[in-house]
Amino acid sequence: PLVDYLKLSVLCSLIKFSTAGTELPGKLLSSPSLRSFPAKRAATLPTCDGVSVYSTCNDCNNVLVCLGSTQLERSCNTSSHPAAFCVNGTCSAIPDTAQGCFPPPVICTDVGFFPDPSICQIYHYCEGIDQESSVYECPPNYVYDAEKTLCNPKDSTEDCVTVKCDQDKIFVSYGTSKSSKKYFAFCLFEENAVSSIQVFKCPDNYQFHEVSCMFECPEAGNYAHMDATKYFQCYHSGAQLVFTVQSCPSGKTFDQSQQVCVTSDGGK
């Protein structure tokens, strides 16, 4: 019947609408101007009851172990342990942000958005090189999408992308897709354990390849070179898109917006 058909059409439209535009921005957890890390869970530290055997969080990074009349503290933040945060009395790789425990900032290597190297729900925004980042968190069941610089629903474990350090490599890529290879990392090892990870970003139209960022033509045209006095000229050679490196005339630099070499006053 026509009525049932119309109902089905409306239902399909609603389903399509609900699954479209699922990318969301994260929420700000901490910034250089607002930062207080590590945060305490309470004004007073917890204590054991003197009878039971259990564990609880002493603060964001330490576990209080209660052994009847004895109590001791164990740190989650050790070089040999990837789980740096205390959540519900045990160590976890993901902090309990609802309790005021936030991941640390990164030291910025460039300006813009960066994925967190270890926690796929976390990302960073950098305002300047060598500054501390602002830390953002995706909504529950979302992960950061480095290509879109937004949060996407986590549909499978493969959606959670982090840096996989390899002691046999100097640099490692962030993820495996072409879009995520804009980012790469340097892992510092101490006594065969990862002690720190720095994330770097290739310039626009560059992709990371094993040891460095290499230019790749997005389409035919002229594109900025790392050396401002040069540019890449991309063109089709048969079925392939190739490039040559061209130099600007003396006293001129390449302007990407105009795709030509200009003088300092903007003249061609």
Tell me: do 59 and 130 sit in the same domain: no
What pTM does this model have?
A: 0.77
Examine residue 4 and state whether it is found in any structural domain, yes or no: no
- Give the length of the chain: 268
Instruction: Dump pLDDT digits (tens) for 73-115.
Output: 999 877 555 668 999 999 998 899 888 888 989 999 999 999 9
233 domain-assigned: yes
Q: Which residues contact 40 (CB under 8 A, 6 or more apart)?
A: 59, 60, 100
Determine the 3-state secondary structure of 18 from DSSP. helix
| Residue 165 near residue 200, CB atoms below 8 Å | no
The answer to whether residue 250 is domain-embedded is yes
Residue 201 maps to a domain: yes
Give me the domain span that covers residue 117. Answer: 27-32+103-209
| Judgement on whether residues 113 and 177 belong to the same structural domain of the protein | yes
Longest CA pairwise span in the chain (Å): 82
Model confidence over 39-81: pLDDT tens digits?
A: 445 557 788 999 999 999 999 999 999 999 999 999 987 755 5
Total domains present in the chain: 3
Q: What is the pLDDT of residue 11?
A: 38
Shared domain for 240 and 147, answered yes or no, is no
For residue 243, give Cα distances in angstroms to 37, 51, 228, 230: 48, 74, 17, 13
Does residue 12 fall inside a structural domain?
no
Mean pLDDT of 9-19: 39
